[in-house]
Amino acid sequence: MTSAIETAARVRAGEGRAADVLEEHLARIAAHESEVHAFNLVLVEQARAAAAAVDEAVAAGRDPGRLAGVPVALKDNLCTRGIPTTCSSRILDGWKPPYDATVVRRLVDAGAVIVGKTNLDEFAMGSSTENSAFGPTRNPHDLGRVPGGSSGGSAAAVAAGFAALGLGSDTGGSIRQPASLCGVVGAKPTYGLVSRYGLVAFASSLDQIGPFGLDVADAALLLDVIAGPDSLDSTCMPDPPVQASSRLGAGVDGLRVGVVEELASAEGLTPPVGICLREAAEALAAAGAKVDEVSVPATVYGLSAYYLIAPAEASSNLARYDGVRYGKRIVPSPDADLTEMYLATRSEGFGAEVKRRIMLGTYALSAGYYDAYYGQAQRVRTLILRDFEAAYRDFDVLLAPTAPGSAFPLGEKTADPLLMYLNDVCTVPSNLAGHPAVSVPFGTDHAGLPLGVQVLAPALGEAVMFQVAAALEAAAPAPPVPAMRRMGGPA
């Protein structure tokens, strides 16, 4: 497979056809999607029409844009006009958004070809893509294992070669953790760098849309395409966006890199993760970076704060799925009243994890409990931000594990929600701080399954973050390639 950057360059130059690029990906989907189940919906006809339009534009001498002819997979919580957007939930049965998310418009404007809507944990709540109403997605490296989550469908689609790029959303690690488990690059941008308009909200103050790519340069390009001000999102920054791709070849000579002690020794980390983190740090030092350990003390409270703030916001954001206006409506009996309709609709429409979080969040916001739970979590959030800011006075970027381990077998953690929540321990601090972080493949476990390390940067530090990520990528051992991705050409 060629990279997205090369594909776009060839298509823009008239050296390759978008239609051929698409068919190559559709062939892999046809051969392996039934095993992987990365998609809720493959948009074969729409994608063919889009690819043809790109080729026509090139033939007519127009430039289709920076992603000309590049197949992209969209997480199915991103609104697409006239195309079902399910959030992998029954409660949105039959709903077709009347509008495109801002990021979708930007992709189309850049000449990208949207191949489908990918599976996720229902409403992005989960770390394995097993909480989907439509069944789990499987890891292309090992079909008995999960791809991570909640953006597991997009991560798997990119890892399997079903799409060259993918978009996910990251509320507590939902891009970076599946990127790590699927052996791809995944980034959560600075909060406010990418418009959330058209992203179905999970936890509004934490959600960010971000890119998946097979390499750092591809992911950075995708971020550059989707980033920037949007008058439809008040929390989107008005200033010109940073250029994630601007320093990719600059090396790391003289950069100060801090390994976060609290995350390097977090609860539940498996030994291979520690080994890969150490090797990554050594590789950066060998490339000229000044690497040291750094303490960011409040990060140890990150998971606790996250599992109050995110459910609290979710309990409010998901209230609208009530059977009144769209999606599923269950009327339990002919003479059922409004409350009975609400109860039946939400009881049947939502899965167990979503209900669990709605209840947690409702409780955390209740009169008499607000200060002890939501209020306290917000104070922890402030502490985490302050501690990160202190660390960035001494360091340009920070280094941490992404996930506690490699891809785990399906079903292994579904019975124990707290064990599942521990997947997020190294990723949630960046969401709470609103800072960017990227997971880069670096090494494998004993079974040859991919692992990632995380580069964290201060707010709007995407350029230096990707600069360091590119150096890590260059120093990393050759990552494993799933067999299905080799199909249709050299990997």
Partner 1 sequence: MSTVDRDRPNPSTDPAWEIVIGLEVHCELRTATKLFCGCRNSFGEEPNTSVCPVCLGLPGSLPVLNRTAVDYAMRIGTALHCRVQPSQFHRKNYFYPDMPKDYQISQYDVPINADGWLDLPDGGRIGIIRAHLEEDTGKTTHVGGGGRIHDAAHSLVDYNRAGVPLVEIVSAPDIRSAEEARAYVDELRAILVATGASDGKMEEGSLRVDANVSVRPAGSTDFGTRCEIKNMNSLRSLGRAIEYEAARQMALISEGGTVAQETRHWDEGGGRTGSMRSKEEAYDYRYFPEPDLVPLEPSEDWVAAVATSLPRLPADRRAAVAEASGLPAGSDAVATVVRLGLDHLVDAVVSAAGPPDAPSVAVRRLANEVAADPEAAASLDPASFARLVGMEAGGALTAAQARTVLKAIMDRGGEPEAIASELGFEAMDVSDLEAVVEEIISAHPDEWSRFEAGEDKLTGFFIGKVKAATDGKADLKAASSILRNRR
The residue ranges that bind partner 1 (CB under 8 A) are 77-79, 85, 87, 92, 95, 97-99, 101, 196-201, 203-205, 231-235, 312-313, 315-316, 319-320, 322, 324-326, 337-338, 342, 362, 365-367, 370, 374
150 annotated active-site: yes
Strands, E, within 339-436: which ranges? Answer: 397-401
CA angle in degrees (0–180, nearest 5) for 467-469-472:
115
* Residue 319 C-beta: closest distance to partner 1, Å: 4
Measured from the Cβ of residue 327, the count of other Cβ atoms closer than 10 Å reads: 20
Comparison of 36 and 200: residue with beta carbon closer to partner 1: 200
Comparison of 191 and 392: residue with beta carbon closer to partner 1: 191
Comparison of 92 and 455: residue with beta carbon closer to partner 1: 92
204 annotated active-site: no
413 annotated active-site: no
Comparison of 6 and 322: residue with beta carbon closer to partner 1: 322
DSSP annotation of 236: S
Comparison of 303 and 312: residue with beta carbon closer to partner 1: 312
- Active-site position among 88, 127, 132, 150: 150
DSSP assignment of 10-77 equals: HHHTTSS-HHHHHHHHHHHHHHHHHHH--EEEE-HHHHHHHHHHHHHHHHTT----TTTT-EEEEETT
User: Whats the size of the chain, residue-wise?
Assistant: 491
* Residue 199 C-beta: closest distance to partner 1, Å: 6
* Residue 81 C-beta: closest distance to partner 1, Å: 10
* Residue 320 C-beta: closest distance to partner 1, Å: 5
Give me 46's structure tokens. 């729409």
Pairing of strands 256-260, 290-294: parallel
Contacts of 198 (CB under 8 A, 6+ apart): 78, 79, 97, 99, 100, 101, 102, 103, 104
- Active-site position among 174, 245, 315, 406: 174
- What is the largest distance, in Å, between two alpha-carbon atoms of the chain? 73
Residue type, 489: G
* Residue 127 C-beta: closest distance to partner 1, Å: 22
Contacts of 12 (CB under 8 A, 6+ apart): 58, 63, 64, 68, 111
Residues designated catalytic = 75, 150, 174
